[in-house]
A = this chain, B = another copy of it.
Amino acid sequence: MNTVSQMRIQKPAEEIFEAFVDPEKIGGFWFSSSSERWQEGKTVTLTYKEYDAEGDIKIIELLENEKIVFEWAGSHAVTIHFLPEQSNSTIVKVKEDGFDNKDENLISQLLDNKEGWVYMLTCLKGYMEYGVSLRASLIKQG
């Protein structure tokens, strides 16, 4: 099982790609910061200061302005594609693989995951197109 989420953003792929890999920019739409610039082969620590949380990701592949692949959450692989369109817009496509089809909590894991990616992508759109921050406001079901 995997999840796939896709958003059209009215900016060129280079600008959007840069927002992921630049530790100063990620705080505009996703985690509050990265420990360093994303590079192939690096392990980067992502911090969520609002939730007093952090986690490592391992950058498996980084194809400038086109594709990022990283591992997190154990054996989960995340692939982000930057697909250029006409008129300088870009489709950002996120796929996460590695869900265990036999896990009794599979459905809630998939829903949490889908929620997180759609939220991040919409925050990314707001940040790239208007420079506004919409992050850290999703409330998990209690």
In the assembled complex, A21 has its CB within 8 A of some CB on chain B? no
Judge whether A91 and B132 touch: CB under 8 Å: no
For residue A118, CB closer than 8 A to chain B, the reply is: yes
A6 within 8 A of B: yes
Interface status of A4 (Cβ within 8 A of chain B)? yes
Q: Which of B114, B129, B140 contacts A114 (CB 8 A)?
A: B114
Could you say which residues of chain B place their CB within 8 Å of the CB of A93?
A: 139
Query: For the complex formed by this chain, how many copies does it contain in all?
Result: 2
Q: B130 contacts A9, CB within 8 Å? A: no
A141 to chain B minimum Cβ distance, whole angstroms, is: 5
| Partner of A132 from B1, B7, B111, B129 at Cβ < 8 Å | B129
Expressed in whole angstroms, the Cα–Cα distance for A53 and B86 within the complex equals 25
Q: Are A7 and B137 in contact (CB under 8 A)?
A: yes
**Digit string of A47-81 for contact with B (CB within 8 Å is 1, else 0)?**
00000000000000000000000000000000000
Residues of B within 8 A of A8 (CB): 137-139
A84 contacts partner chain B, Cβ-Cβ < 8 Å: no
Q: Is A110 an interface residue (CB 8 A)?
A: yes
List the 9 shortest-distance A-B pairs measured between CB atoms, nearest first: A122-B122, A6-B139, A8-B137, A118-B118, A130-B132, A4-B141, A126-B126, A111-B114, A115-B118
